[in-house]
Amino acid sequence: MNSPSPEWTAIEPLLDEAMETLDPPDRAAILLRYFEAKSLREVGQTLGTSEDAAQKRVSRALDQLREFFSKRGRAVGIGALAAVITANSVQAAPSGLAKSVTLAAVKATAVTASNLTLIKTLRIKAALKRKAALRHARQTIGGGKPNRPRLLPDA
């Protein structure tokens, strides 16, 4: 059996902690790409994005991991990091773990997206209420007619 590479020996003790620092979609992209050996198209399909978006997400996540390790005195390049994770992913993740973590990350992404939609909806409703209150205040103070948009131009 081959001995682990020096890069793997340097990052392996911190890999779980490093993965936890990633946003759920980035974590899912790394797990799918390297621990489940999925193509970028499959990563994109699973995450509901294009192949190009999946590539960017994986690259960004690798850069964040590289930065994490660098801050802890374990400098490794992005290419080497990807190669080391790929070469050691089978022994790094017990069978089924990557799949369950990936599913959880994808679900968290969906929940996050629905939360963002809810927040946007609430903000829009609040803005509409503010506009209605301002319109009412102008009408009350000014005593005039409400400002209505003209549907037809003046002849």
pLDDT in tens, 66-112: 999 889 888 888 888 888 888 877 554 444 555 555 566 566 555 45
Q: Confidence class of residue 15 from pLDDT cuts 50, 70 and 90?
A: confident
57-71, 104-118, 126-140 — which one is most confidently predicted on average? 57-71
Give the model's pLDDT for residue 94: 43
Give me the residue spans of the domains in the chain.
6-114
Average of per-residue pLDDT values in the chain? 74
**Cα dihedral 28→29→31→33 (10° resolution):** 160
Q: Are 62 and 33 in contact (CB under 8 A)?
A: no
Q: Among residues of the chain, what percentage have pLDDT more than 70?
A: 55
DSSP 3: P
Q: Among residues of the chain, what percentage have pLDDT more than 90?
A: 17
Query: Which residue did the predictor score with more confidence, 119 or 77?
Result: 77
Q: Confidence class of residue 6 from pLDDT cuts 50, 70 and 90?
A: confident
Distances 89 to 20, 92, 108, 130 between C-alpha atoms, Å: 16, 5, 23, 54
Query: Which residue did the predictor score with more confidence, 146 or 24?
Result: 24
**How wide is the angle at C-alpha 106 spanned by C-alphas 59 and 21, nearest 5°?**
55
Q: What is the 3-state secondary structure (H, E, C) of 78-144?
A: HHHHHHHHHHHHHHHCCCCHHHHHHHHHHHHHHHHHHHHHHHHHHHHHHHHHHHHHHHHHHHHHHCC
Give the model's pLDDT for residue 98: 53
**pTM here?**
0.57
Give the model's pLDDT for residue 52: 95
Per residue in 72-81, pLDDT (tens digit) is 888 888 888 8
Q: Which stretches of 22-77 are DSSP H helices?
A: 24-30, 40-47, 51-71
**Alpha carbons 104 and 19: distance in angstroms, whole number:** 14
